[in-house]
Structure 1
Amino acid sequence: MTEFVIPPVEQASVAVAGSNARFPIRRVFCVGRNYAAHAREMGKDPDREPPFFFTKPADAVVPAQGTVPYPPLTDNLHHEIEMVVAIGKGGTDIAVERALEHVWGYGVGVDLTRRDLQDVAKSMSRPWDWSKAFDAAGPCGPLQPVGAVGHPAQGRIWLEVNGEVRQQGDLNEMIWPVADVIAYISQSVALAPGDLIFTGTPAGVGKLQPGDAVRGGVAGLGEFAFTVGARRG
């Protein structure tokens, strides 16, 4: 038995719909600007950009329910609703036509972003980590196994705040579909069971305030609801 000098952290995981079992999280990859309308609202040209990626810590994924804390160091916390892909079989240089064989299931999550910190990082050509990889930065609903939902390629994706629809689109609007995203990631790193992929967000990202009631979902994959917590201090 391995002896550790400090107690190891608990395995990060996400719930599985209709089961007491949980999906262990290894790494979290996120696709940037994967919907054309969102790319344009961020001032970019979706016709010229290949997919790019950033990451979040595994333990940044928290249940999309109850109260999700408002993070420190920001006055401009943004919501980004996304379909989440759970990898069940690893590999490198995965062919696009075989990529979906590596998917265990799908879910719905929110890429929370400290937009003010991201804007500063962009202006200074610095990494985005502080804007994307903070505590509780990835609220996520329960995962649905492929056997229950198939491989969603179309369907409504939406998010509302205090009853007002902020984001609404369709999965078929993704510039890079799930199979392409998996293939691209596997060219750079070895995907492994337990990896999650947040697949990008439609247009309409916006500011969250403490006390906001947030709801969202993807057709066929379920819905979530949480409240934004108070600022610290």
Structure 2
Amino acid sequence: MFSRQSHIWPLQSSLTKSDRSASSVFFSDTNLLSTAVKIGHNIISCSIRGEEMGSWGALIMGFFGAFFASMTLYAQCQSNGLILMIPFIGFGIIGLLAAYVIRQPGEGIVPSERASKAIRWSSIGEGIGLFLASNIVINLHHPEFLMPAMALVVGLHFLPIAYAAPFSPFYALGGALILFGLIGFIVAAPLGGAISGFASAGGLWIASALALRRDIHFKRGNRPIMSASV
């Protein structure tokens, strides 16, 4: 069993009792583990259905980028209340852009069989890795390592995709996330966790933008003749 001190992430002493109660309900260790399970399940489900590329993949990565940023604001920057919703504005923008791309005529990104397998297994590994990483650091009573561990997992998952797609920007993105994850383990909390958490969020948002850009490029190149001439 966790002690009360390890079970709830530390908050600023200036928080009111009601703020502390409301925040701890969502960010308790138990809920973090539950959320990690849901993240892993969603990533694995979407990868099996082949939705990790293009606009649908951008939506998935955009949401989890917002979630990681919000969790970092709370756990590392000790923010609370409506400020935790600010990252989801970014997700909303990504959602609007994805809706626009999805509605465009033409065929979007169709990965090769090799790339599809790499995406599927990398995404499954990412889902399992995020669950294991959160489980391990919380049960070892080191929640300050949660965001660095997640940054490592997300970064590693991009490398096989970059190789199989092939898509060289994912090498740079994956390498940067791994680097920021390692920095998070070295630099003292809360700065280390903040660097890793915001880097993970930024990396996922960059990946979303790249996915949308590639999808619209493919659709414009594969439009039907009648549609393209309008």
With the length of structure 2 as denominator, give the TM-score of the two structures. Answer: 0.21
Give the number of the structure whose residues are more often strand, by fraction: 1
TM-score, structure 1 length as denominator? 0.20
Structure of greater relative contact order (alpha carbons < 8 Å, 6+ residues apart):
1
Greater fraction of residues in helix: 2
